[in-house]
């Protein structure tokens, strides 16, 4: 299963989500089953390393990152099985930019929607915040990725 995490700039939230997801997958011995990537709806940071604050928080939490910023591509809707938006604006932009048809819509979901009480909840943009905001985003993503992987695994054995 190929999973794509999407935010605006692809330097703060989505590379962090990708790193956390990869770590969880590895811990559960599911490396053969899942691959992941991340992308931004905007192209401001193409080719760049993740933001230094994302790198710092991931380092502190022993979460490896291996990503350079890239923009969302039209073909991503075909390449990936699941596309996860960090917030509602990302979700709307993904549907528009990828010209997602009604039959493809179930491939695109909001990251926190896997949490038991996550309906309508977003992963807030920490770019103009401080390290505390990045810390909060990390714990939010750790919880959201755990809930997501739990649900994917549950569905895969049904």
Q: Contact residues for ligand 4NP (CB under 6 A)?
A: 7-13, 44, 125, 127
Q: Which of 7, 12, 58, 145 is catalytic?
A: 7
Q: Which of 37, 87, 125, 145 is catalytic?
A: 125
Strand partners, 37: 4
Of residues 23 and 70, the one with the C-beta less far from ligand 4NP: 70
Of residues 18 and 125, the one with the C-beta less far from ligand 4NP: 125
Whether residue 51 lies in the annotated active site? no
**Smallest distance, ligand 4NP to C-beta of residue 125, A:** 5
Whether residue 7 lies in the annotated active site? yes
Whether residue 13 lies in the annotated active site? yes
**Smallest distance, ligand 4NP to C-beta of residue 137, A:** 8
Q: Are 10 and 70 in contact (CB under 8 A)?
A: yes
Residues 6+ apart with CB under 8 A from 1: 33, 34, 35, 81, 82, 152
**Smallest distance, ligand 4NP to C-beta of residue 31, A:** 26
Would you please indicate which residues are annotated as catalytic (active-site) residues? Answer: 7, 13, 125
């Amino acid at each position: 299963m190929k999973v794509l995490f999407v935010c605006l700039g692809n330097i703060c939230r989505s590379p962090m989500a990708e790193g956390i997801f990869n770590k969880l997958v590895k811990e559960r011995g599911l490396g053969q089953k899942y691959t992941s990537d991340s992308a931004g709806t905007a192209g401001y940071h193409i080719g760049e390393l993740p933001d230094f604050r994302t790198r710092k928080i991931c380092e502190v939490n022993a979460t490896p990152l291996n990503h350079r910023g890239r923009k969302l591509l039209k073909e991503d809707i075909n390449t990936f099985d699941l596309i996860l938006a960090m917030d509602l604006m990302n979700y709307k932009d993904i549907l528009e930019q990828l010209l997602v048809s009604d039959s493809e819509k179930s491939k695109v979901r909001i990251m926190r929607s896997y949490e038991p009480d996550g309906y309508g909840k977003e992963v807030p943009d920490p770019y103009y915040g401080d390290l505390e905001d990045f810390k909060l985003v990390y714990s939010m993503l750790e919880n959201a990725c755990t809930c997501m992987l739990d649900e994917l695994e549950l569905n895969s054995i049904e």
